[in-house]
Chain A
Amino acid sequence: MIKKNLVGQDVDVYTEQLENGLNVYLVPMKNMKRYFITYATRFGSLMTQFMPADSKKMEKVPNGIAHFLEHKMFEQENGEDVFNYFSKSGAYVNASTGYESTRYICSGMDNFIGNLKYLINFVNNPYFTDKNVEKEKGIIIEEVNMYKDDAEASLDNTSRYNLFQNDNHRFDIGGEVDDVKSITKEDLYLCYENFYQPQNMFVLAVGNIQVEKTLEAIREEFNNDKKYKQLPKVKYLNEPYKVRKEKEIVKFNVEIPKFVYSLKIKKEIFEIKNQYLIDLRLNLMLRMLFGSTSLFYEKGKLDDLFSSFYYNFDTTNQYIIISFFAETKKYEKLIELIKETLQNRNSILTKDDFMRSKKTMIANKIKASCYIDAISDSLYEDLINYGDVIYDKIDIIREISYEEMCKTCEKIDLDNNCTVVYVPKK
């Protein structure tokens, strides 16, 4: 295995690629009793159109299928209950689906090798029948309904729907109730066979683990099945620059109005290949302009412009989305202040602030490095967002210059934006 150090965090990452294409990342941590295992595939809610490697037919599956598949992986042919197996050793098991990936996780204290193998095994062996697929629909529909009632989740959904014209980011990860109802076992097998292939997947284990034994167990688990297989060609529709709808006001079951104001920015204008560098510079900027130490935040509080406020940062293959969320009765004024702050960003971003923000970012990374969940999440995000672990983040942060950040920030164009406001019904 190849050993590399996460710079400045006293953590080593061991990596290996198996012959079938599966990538393995192992992070032994001294002093920790617990382990945290992730088995993941780069298959999420975005991939609904694809051409299998051995076919010329373009397949189209319903929205929400990746999430449905995640639920159904817990079904075993021999009728064994997956939850039962893990609870025998007091371990926790769960799964979650995102736009670009699905992950199955297990954390616990005992039976590490057994649980690791079982986790890989149940994800490697699908068992879908008409009956068990039908049965799951009630559960998933309740889940979809739960998010529909949540004002913030719903607001976020509406905003994404208005930002994008073609990109699947405009749909909820779980799909709509009708999508869920339409899903068949054939759809599930089709997606499974295409995307749950070793070269599209990885195993990440962090915590109280022994590197050699872990790798051996993983190899064993892949001995008989899951040979190397070519991946399908996913079709991503070209997403036009313009937002679909600039402004929408929705009456919703809320007590206080809430809004999202989002910018849709073309990635190519930054002329930087390294996505992490773009993200880092923009994050520093957002922190300085809108974080807890910003003049914006102070003015917003003193003038009672919001009761809660935060910003978010997202990327698609073509765009960067910066979103500002707030709960406020004075949304027009607040949106004006956000726009004004962005407009005047060059004069607001000072070098002192920049140095302090860098220092804070580095300190936060060191703080997080004694928690296995935090290390695990951070590596997982790297693998999904950047394709590989970024080992030298702390060095990259140290080296980034004020001028570089300003140069990147100057390029942001503010004209392509979208506002969604949720107002009380009464």
Chain B
Amino acid sequence: MEYKVKDLGSYKLHLIKNSDFKTIRVKVFFNEPIKKDKITIRNFLASLLVLSNEKYKTKRQVALKCQDLYSCGIGYNICRFGNYSNLSFSMDVLEDKYTEEGNFKQALEFFSDIIFKPNVVENAFDETYFNIVKNDARVALNSLKEDKGRYSTIRMLEAMDKNSPLSFRTSGYVEDLDNITKESLYEYYKEMLDNDIVDIFVIGNIDFDEIEKLIRLYFPVKVYKKITLDCRLEEKKSNIKRVVQREEDDSNQSKLAIGCRCFGLSDYERSYPLTIYNIILGGGTNSKLFKEVREENSYCYYINSVPNKLDNLLIIRAGISRVNFESVVRMIEDQMIMIRRGKFTDFDMEEAKKMYVSAIDEIKESQNDIIDSYYMMELLGVDDLETKKKKMLEVTRDEIIAVSKKIKIDTIYLLEGVKE
């Protein structure tokens, strides 16, 4: 895999040559410091842009064009990296040798139209699709509670710290939706183009010079910007007394979400020992939580933990029966204490490392994952994949124990299934 990054002034162009796939994938990242009251409008904008633009005004026309380009795929994704809101648009299309000469070039122009030629008249987005997106967004925001796993995690985070980005809802808020107008949306669109840090990635069996020419032609981002804010959230003190919150719900299963704060971790600890700690605790079917809570005590079907290093956070989730709530929480605490006391085997550690190395190698089998991993290097300055593997294999038992002592349960939330 050959990788080249070129600073084009107003954005960086990243080119990756890789002939393991039959497609070429292009991904454009927009990154900006997150503001709670802009989350909804950012989501709104992204979903509208992929539905309708100046040339292809209706979703149907967009879909027809995609099919004409031999099933070219267009999509977007919004997520939060610590203090930043990241919006990416992506396009993937078969190489010309599987379609016809010029197909990729056409697809790239089409993709560029989606981002840069919105369906705007007199400084306002076209009304028809504006209303469609508004209706859909309202439904999605109002039905948040239907995804109980996600809902319980959000509620837990809000109980933990409702003012911090860590609890911001990635899809936005109904209250903000009402205030969005066709005009304010266009204002926001211009703001985004002017202020967001942009990175463009192209991966596939590509010729670097040719692609650079095409990208310069079709991606007219002009303004020069600079990253000013650290990605990582500022560390907060844990609540002195842990918060326990319960909410009743008309369902069979109860959803448990536990938020743990990590404090005083170094960059190295955050990237390496914390990862291994998490795999041992609740990262898979070989973890302590899975074995103890599910296999030994039959208290759940799923249980897992996920670290979020940018937020200094570790989240534990399980689907349980309400009557077992106290027992399950106690068991989770016991497992965390056991790691603190060094009660895990070298074997556990070796396996966790193997699991990590496998996950890293797996990245190479997806164009999208390859792009994302290079982007993380760009954005967070993390090590490259090979260095990551090497350093991870060198993590020691003492380092894991040291990290385990810097993790503390902060908030426990139970969406309590009370259906008989």
- Residues in chain A within 8 A of chain B (CB atoms): 31-34, 81, 83-84, 87-93, 108-110, 135-140, 142-143, 145-146, 148-149, 151, 253-256, 291-295, 297-298, 301-302, 304, 307, 327, 356-357, 359-360, 363-364, 366-367, 369-372, 425
Q: Which residues of A contact B143 (CB under 8 A)?
A: 254-256, 327
Contact of B285 among A31, A83, A135 (CB under 8 A): A83
Render B50-63 as a binary contact track against A, CB cut-off 8 A, 1 for contact: 00000000111001
Provide the bound-state CA to CA distance between A175 and B388, in Å: 45
Q: Which residues of B contact A142 (CB under 8 A)?
A: 253, 299-301, 319-321
Report if A90-B285 is in contact (Cβ < 8 Å); known contacts: A292-B59, A298-B59, A363-B71: no
Q: Which residues of A contact B8 (CB under 8 A)?
A: none
Q: Which of B116-124, B334-342, B358-366 contacts A (4 or more CB under 8 A)?
A: B358-366
Whether B358 and A90, one on each chain, are in contact in the complex, defined by CB atoms closer than 8 angstroms, is: yes
Q: From residue 398 to 420 of chain B, which have CB atoms closer than 8 A to chain A?
A: 417, 419
Report if A255-B145 is in contact (Cβ < 8 Å); known contacts: A88-B351, A138-B298, A363-B71: yes
Provide the bound-state CA to CA distance between A307 and B47, in Å: 13
Whether B354 and A256, one on each chain, are in contact in the complex, defined by CB atoms closer than 8 angstroms, is: no
Report if A370-B23 is in contact (Cβ < 8 Å); known contacts: A34-B362, A293-B60, A297-B60: yes
Q: Which residues of B contact A93 (CB under 8 A)?
A: 285
Q: From residue 251 to 285 of chain B, which have CB atoms closer than 8 A to chain A?
A: 251-253, 284-285
Render B134-156 as a binary contact track against A, CB cut-off 8 A, 1 for contact: 01100110110110100000000
Asked whether B224 is an interface residue with its Cβ less than 8 Å from the other chain, the reply is: no
Whether A364 and B71, one on each chain, are in contact in the complex, defined by CB atoms closer than 8 angstroms, is: yes
Contact of A371 among B58, B290, B361, B365 (CB under 8 A): B365
Q: Which residues of A contact B188 (CB under 8 A)?
A: none
Provide the bound-state CA to CA distance between A84 and B301, in Å: 18
Q: Closest residue of chain B to A352, judged by CB?
A: B64
Provide the bound-state CA to CA distance between A364 and B357, in Å: 31
State how many angstroms separate the Cβ of B253 from the closest Cβ of chain A.
4
Q: Which residues of B contact A371 (CB under 8 A)?
A: 365-366
Whether B355 and A87, one on each chain, are in contact in the complex, defined by CB atoms closer than 8 angstroms, is: yes
Asked whether B232 is an interface residue with its Cβ less than 8 Å from the other chain, the reply is: no
Asked whether B68 is an interface residue with its Cβ less than 8 Å from the other chain, the reply is: yes
Q: Which residues of B contact A84 (CB under 8 A)?
A: 286, 351
State how many angstroms separate the Cβ of B204 from the closest Cβ of chain A.
11
Whether A33 and B142, one on each chain, are in contact in the complex, defined by CB atoms closer than 8 angstroms, is: no
Whether A87 and B301, one on each chain, are in contact in the complex, defined by CB atoms closer than 8 angstroms, is: no
Q: From residue 162 to 194 of chain B, which have CB atoms closer than 8 A to chain A?
A: none
Q: Which residues of B contact A138 (CB under 8 A)?
A: 297-299
Provide the bound-state CA to CA distance between A91 and B99, in Å: 36
Q: Closest residue of chain A to B318, judged by CB?
A: A142
State how many angstroms separate the Cβ of A139 from the closest Cβ of chain B.
5
Q: Which residues of A contact B67 (CB under 8 A)?
A: 293, 356-357, 359-360
Render B302-322 as a binary contact track against A, CB cut-off 8 A, 1 for contact: 100000000000000001110
Whether A307 and B135, one on each chain, are in contact in the complex, defined by CB atoms closer than 8 angstroms, is: yes
Asked whether B387 is an interface residue with its Cβ less than 8 Å from the other chain, the reply is: no
Q: Closest residue of chain A to B358, judged by CB?
A: A90
Whether A307 and B136, one on each chain, are in contact in the complex, defined by CB atoms closer than 8 angstroms, is: yes
**Which of A84, A139, A294, A297: most chain B Cβ within 10 A?**
A139
Whether A370 and B58, one on each chain, are in contact in the complex, defined by CB atoms closer than 8 angstroms, is: no
Whether A151 and B358, one on each chain, are in contact in the complex, defined by CB atoms closer than 8 angstroms, is: no
Q: Which residues of A contact B92 (CB under 8 A)?
A: 367
Report if A149-B148 is in contact (Cβ < 8 Å); known contacts: A34-B361, A297-B60: yes
Asked whether B128 is an interface residue with its Cβ less than 8 Å from the other chain, the reply is: yes
Q: Closest residue of chain A to B299, judged by CB?
A: A138
5 tightest A-B CB contacts, nearest first: A138-B298, A90-B354, A90-B358, A363-B71, A145-B252
Whether A256 and B253, one on each chain, are in contact in the complex, defined by CB atoms closer than 8 angstroms, is: no
Asked whether B37 is an interface residue with its Cβ less than 8 Å from the other chain, the reply is: no
Provide the bound-state CA to CA distance between A297 and B62, in Å: 13
Whether B145 and A139, one on each chain, are in contact in the complex, defined by CB atoms closer than 8 angstroms, is: no
Q: Which residues of A contact B68 (CB under 8 A)?
A: 356
Provide the bound-state CA to CA distance between A363 and B365, in Å: 20
Contact of B132 among A33, A253, A301 (CB under 8 A): A301
Q: Which residues of B contact A364 (CB under 8 A)?
A: 71
State how many angstroms separate the Cβ of B371 from the closest Cβ of chain A.
15
Q: Which residues of B contact A146 (CB under 8 A)?
A: 252-253, 301-302, 319
State how many angstroms separate the Cβ of B133 from the closest Cβ of chain A.
10
Provide the bound-state CA to CA distance between A148 and B148, in Å: 12
Q: Which residues of B contact A91 (CB under 8 A)?
A: 358
Render B1-39 as a binary contact track against A, CB cut-off 8 A, 1 for contact: 000000000000000000111110000000000000000
Provide the bound-state CA to CA distance between A366 and B96, in Å: 12
With A88-B354, A149-B252 known, 4 other A-B pairs at CB within 8 A are A146-B252, A149-B251, A256-B139, A357-B67
Whether B94 and A366, one on each chain, are in contact in the complex, defined by CB atoms closer than 8 angstroms, is: yes
Sample of 11 A–B contacts (CB below 8 Å): A88-B350, A90-B356, A92-B358, A139-B301, A256-B142, A294-B60, A298-B60, A307-B135, A356-B64, A366-B98, A370-B21
State how many angstroms separate the Cβ of B277 from the closest Cβ of chain A.
16
Whether A32 and B301, one on each chain, are in contact in the complex, defined by CB atoms closer than 8 angstroms, is: no
Whether B365 and A34, one on each chain, are in contact in the complex, defined by CB atoms closer than 8 angstroms, is: yes
**Which of B284, B291, B361: most chain A Cβ within 10 A?**
B361
Contact of B250 among A137, A139, A253 (CB under 8 A): A253
State how many angstroms separate the Cβ of B17 from the closest Cβ of chain A.
14
State how many angstroms separate the Cβ of B232 from the closest Cβ of chain A.
29
Q: Closest residue of chain A to B19, judged by CB?
A: A31
Q: Which residues of B contact A304 (CB under 8 A)?
A: 131-132, 135
Q: Which residues of B contact A92 (CB under 8 A)?
A: 358
